[in-house]
């Protein structure tokens, strides 16, 4: 089976895995490319019986919690019972010990097409298949432009948009722009931030391009946060509201479709990182002793170089090893599924033994406080207080921060002051400092950095003159957090406002060598563009070029393939050549100018072909007549 060369690392891991049939007798193994004669000893499985090994664990090879995997495994079992498939338990293991064991099922008889449908239902990249004694092979189950996608994708295109699962496959005419963004992502992985401004008329695909960028960034192990600017909920003149909107939509590579995860997953991962603990100056792991149970600290990571608490065992002293002697950590070198050859989330988690050069402590005024108290408030203990803490650090209203601070002071252990996070317009620098800190925390926790996407930046034009000044401050603060204040085209004093006391000393960028990537998309407006030019370097601006006739032909062909795959009713083969020519012609006559218009038009024509085929000839004739005038 031909596979894209960019997936070589991932497919090598799949090909080297050992698939075991679990049974009371000694288990037997299945390996890619080898005969599976032992299967013929199973009742009901004969020489020509098609079979497959499918798991529901870790969809798209993104690690899930044991509870999530157990739920998915149970759902797969229920589905197989409903469909009446014979199935036996299996487990897949990595011979190198770099990836956790995954439970699954040997299913028979089942043809490859049906196996692929089930695998896609559980977001699996590939399954093991064979017929009788084999040989065994991998079946690619990933979605492509030719895949049978659900009809709801077509329903979305009827409105002129493409759902996330198809957004990259149906992007045309943006190779130049995406090459720039790919270079930005590569630089971001090495610490260099950047600021981009996408300029294009309404309907030209700015929002679509942001969706493509988000998917690419997630696939490369970046955190992504996106906000749509508006006049009220996320006005650019109110940085606290913009920050709240970003954190509300913060997305993680391992769970790209899970909504509103907030900062909790990042905090949980960061607290396991010795580098994060050292850099953010976190205290030693607090002891939360429950009578009759071992102390929590016995099995939690500590920061190397810090002395142990007298009379208390070392953190790592009694930790059981999950690997065979001489083998690397389970998570150490697992390749990323979506970005072969690039580090995955778990790959970047620093090992305690390897962390000989830890960063100097540099407490973050907000994040160090939040992390310290987050660790003092385990799940199930003080749920209301934990909720208030997370609402505070995520920019949600909580009342007075002093009340939260006083309640946290009652807990055992080191206390850190809870400073205010107000919805004040001059506080852009403070919220940029907070986002910059999240970028560094993400890197220390094993991600590659933070990407911020701002849509509808033209909302600036709707603001009053006073609010425009504050929105301009937000743009400058984001520039300082991205490229650094020295590289931005304005003076440092422009960001001096906001806050009292220690808050006035906070820089827009927490770590001098860690920038984030901020991308603004806007419909050109003289005032808005002028303001952004005062905040962003000249090379930050990308004018999205107009799509040409060839691009519209490609779009028509791709939408046609998708539509045909989503519906059972046949469509005339002549549409394969006729429809792209019509769409391109309408574009040349100025009747179709944007991808959004084109998708809606294409779906309308295909609806006629599918539902009212007798009317198709007249509709096409009318269009051709229009093009000949």
pLDDT class for 203, splitting at 50, 70, 90?
low
Q: Is residue 313 part of a domain?
A: no
**Reduced to 3 states, what is the DSSP secondary structure of residue 214?**
helix
Question: What pLDDT sits at residue 629?
Answer: 60
Sheet bearing 541-543, strands edge to edge: 223-228, 450-455, 517-522, 194-199, 541-543
**Reduced to 3 states, what is the DSSP secondary structure of residue 263?**
coil
Q: Which residues pair with 106 in a beta bridge?
A: 53, 88
Question: Considering 519, 543, 567, which residue would you say is the last residue of a domain?
Answer: 543
Q: Whose CA is closest to 242, among 439, 449, 455, 492?
A: 455
379 exposed, middle or buried (CB, 10 Å; 0-12, 13-18, 19+)?
Answer: exposed
Counting the structural domains of the chain, the total is 3
User: Taking a C-beta distance cutoff of 8 angstroms, is the pair 520, 454 a contact?
Assistant: yes
463 and 571 in a single domain? The answer is no
Q: CA–CA distance from 382 to each of 6, 374, 389, 547 (Å)?
A: 48, 11, 11, 56
Question: What pLDDT sits at residue 194?
Answer: 94
Tell me how far apart the alpha carbons of residues 435 and 510 are, in angstroms, rounded to a whole number. 9
Question: Considering 119, 140, 161, which residue would you say is the last residue of a domain?
Answer: 140
How do residues 420-444 score in pLDDT, each as one tens digit?
Answer: 999 999 999 999 999 999 999 999 9
How do residues 77-127 score in pLDDT, each as one tens digit?
Answer: 888 988 899 999 999 999 988 889 999 999 999 999 899 988 877 778 899
Q: Is residue 75 part of a domain?
A: yes
H or E stretch at 65: none
User: What's the domain range around 36?
Assistant: 8-140
Tell me how far apart the alpha carbons of residues 196 and 187 are, in angstroms, rounded to a whole number. 13
Q: Is residue 167 part of a domain?
A: no
559 and 496 in a single domain? The answer is no
- For residue 91, how many C-alpha atoms fall within 13 Å in the half-sphere facing its CB? 9
Omega before 423 cis (within 30°)? no
Q: Residues 277-281: what's their mean pLDDT?
A: 96
pLDDT class for 159, splitting at 50, 70, 90?
low
13 and 117 in a single domain? The answer is yes
553 and 525 in a single domain? The answer is no
Question: Considering 122, 140, 158, which residue would you say is the last residue of a domain?
Answer: 140
Q: In this structure, what token pair is assigned to residue 359?
A: 């960063």
Question: What pLDDT sits at residue 167?
Answer: 64
Q: Is residue 275 part of a domain?
A: no
Question: What pLDDT sits at residue 144?
Answer: 55
- For residue 98, how many C-alpha atoms fall within 13 Å in the half-sphere facing its CB? 15
pLDDT class for 491, splitting at 50, 70, 90?
confident
Tell me how far apart the alpha carbons of residues 55 and 257 are, in angstroms, rounded to a whole number. 20
Q: Residues 506-510: what's their mean pLDDT?
A: 94
559 and 536 in a single domain? The answer is no
Question: What pLDDT sits at residue 292?
Answer: 43
Residue of higher predicted confidence among 70 and 502: 502
525 and 612 in a single domain? The answer is no
pLDDT reading at 61 higher than 60: yes
pLDDT reading at 63 higher than 80: no
How do residues 538-566 score in pLDDT, each as one tens digit?
Answer: 889 999 888 888 999 998 998 888 888 77
Q: Whose CA is closest to 447, among 266, 236, 227?
A: 266
pLDDT reading at 324 higher than 80: no
508 and 622 in a single domain? The answer is no
Residue of higher predicted confidence among 482 and 526: 482
136 and 232 in a single domain? The answer is no
Q: Is residue 528 part of a domain?
A: yes
Q: What is the mean pLDDT of the chain?
A: 81
Question: What pLDDT sits at residue 232?
Answer: 73
503 and 566 in a single domain? The answer is no
Most confident among 367-376, 487-496, 589-598 (mean pLDDT): 367-376
Tell me how far apart the alpha carbons of residues 377 and 371 are, in angstroms, rounded to a whole number. 10
Q: Is residue 79 part of a domain?
A: yes
0.75 exceeded by pTM: no
Q: Residues 479-505: what's their mean pLDDT?
A: 86
531 and 564 in a single domain? The answer is no
User: Taking a C-beta distance cutoff of 8 angstroms, is the pair 55, 92 a contact?
Assistant: yes
Length of the chain: 629
Q: In this structure, what token pair is assigned to residue 71?
A: 């739920």
Q: Is residue 502 part of a domain?
A: yes
Q: CA–CA distance from 121 to each of 7, 146, 252, 374 (Å)?
A: 21, 17, 21, 36
Q: Is residue 300 part of a domain?
A: no
- Helical residues (DSSP H) of 85-174, grouped into ranges: 112-121, 151-158
Q: In this structure, what token pair is assigned to residue 614?
A: 């007798």
H or E stretch at 386: helix 383-393
557 and 526 in a single domain? The answer is no
* Residues 6+ positions from 455 with CB-CB distance below 8 Å: 206, 207, 210, 226, 227, 228, 229, 521
109 and 21 in a single domain? The answer is yes
């Amino acid at each position: 089976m031909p596979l894209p060369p960019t997936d070589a690392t991932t497919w090598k891991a799949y090909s080297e895995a050992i698939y075991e049939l679990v049974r009371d007798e000694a288990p037997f193994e299945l390996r890619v490319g080898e005969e599976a004669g032992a299967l013929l000893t199973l009742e009901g499985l004969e020489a020509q019986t098609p079979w497959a090994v499918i798991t529901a664990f870790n969809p798209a090879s993104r690690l899930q919690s044991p509870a999530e995997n157990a739920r998915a495994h149970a759902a797969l079992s229920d589905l197989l019972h409903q469909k009446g498939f014979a199935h036996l338990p299996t487990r897949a293991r990595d011979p190198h010990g770099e990836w956790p064991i995954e439970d699954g099922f040997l299913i028979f008889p089942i043809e490859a097409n049906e196996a692929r449908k089930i695998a896609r239902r559980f977001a699996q990249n590939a399954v093991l298949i064979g017929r009788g004694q084999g040989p065994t092979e991998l079946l690619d189950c990933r979605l492509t432009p030719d895949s049978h996608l659900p009809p709801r994708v077509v329903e979305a295109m009827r409105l002129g948009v493409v759902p996330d699962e198809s957004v990259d496959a149906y992007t045309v005419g943006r190779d130049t722009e995406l090459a720039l963004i790919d270079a930005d992502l590569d630089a971001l992985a090495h610490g260099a931030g950047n600021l981009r401004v996408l300029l294009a008329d309404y309907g030209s695909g700015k929002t679509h391009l942001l969706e493509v960028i988000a998917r690419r960034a997630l696939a490369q192990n970046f955190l992504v946060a996106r906000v749509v600017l508006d006049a009220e909920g996320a006005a650019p003149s109110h940085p606290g509201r913009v920050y709240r909107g970003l954190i509300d939509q913060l997305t993680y590579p391992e769970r790209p479709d899970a909504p509103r995860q907030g900062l909790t997953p990042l905090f949980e991962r960061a607290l396991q990182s010795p580098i994060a603990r050292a850099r953010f100056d976190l205290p030693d792991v607090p002891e939360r002793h429950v009578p009759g149970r071992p102390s929590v600290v016995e099995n939690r990571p500590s920061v190397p170089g810090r002395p142990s608490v007298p009379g208390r065992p070392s953190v790592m002293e009694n930790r059981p090893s999950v690997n065979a002697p001489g083998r690397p950590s389970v998570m150490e070198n697992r390749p990323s599924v979506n970005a072969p050859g690039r580090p995955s989330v778990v790959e970047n988690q620093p090992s305690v033994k390897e962390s000989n050069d830890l960063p100097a402590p540099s407490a973050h005024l907000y994040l160090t406080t939040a992390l310290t108290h987050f660790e003092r408030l385990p799940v199930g203990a003080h749920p209301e207080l934990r909720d208030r803490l997370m609402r505070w650090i995520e920019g949600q209203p909580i009342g007075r921060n002093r009340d939260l601070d006083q309640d946290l002071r009652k807990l055992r252990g080191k206390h850190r002051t809870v400073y205010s996070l107000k919805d004040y317009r001059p506080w852009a620098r403070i919220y940029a400092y907070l986002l910059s800190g999240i970028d560094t925390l993400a890197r220390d926790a094993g991600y590659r950095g933070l990407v911020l996407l701002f849509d509808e930046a033209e909302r600036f034009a709707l603001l009053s003159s006073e609010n425009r000044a504050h929105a301009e401050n937000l743009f400058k603060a984001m520039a300082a957090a991205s490229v650094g204040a020295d590289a931005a085209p304005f003076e440092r004093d422009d960001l001096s406002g906001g806050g009292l006391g220690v808050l006035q000393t906070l820089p827009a960028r927490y770590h001098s060598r860690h920038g984030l990537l901020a991308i603004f998309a806007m419909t050109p407006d003289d005032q808005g563009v002028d303001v952004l030019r005062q905040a962003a370097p000249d090379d930050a601006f990308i004018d999205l070029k107009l799509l040409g006739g060839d691009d519209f032909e490609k779009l028509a062909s791709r939408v046609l393939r998708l539509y045909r795959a989503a519906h059972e009713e046949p469509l005339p083969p002549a549409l394969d050549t006729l429809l792209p020519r019509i769409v391109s012609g309408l574009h040349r006559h100025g009747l179709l100018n944007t991808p959004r218009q084109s998708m809606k038009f294409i779906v309308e024509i295909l609806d006629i072909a599918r539902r009212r085929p007798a009317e198709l000839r007249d509709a096409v004739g009318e269009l051709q007549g229009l093009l000949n005038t």
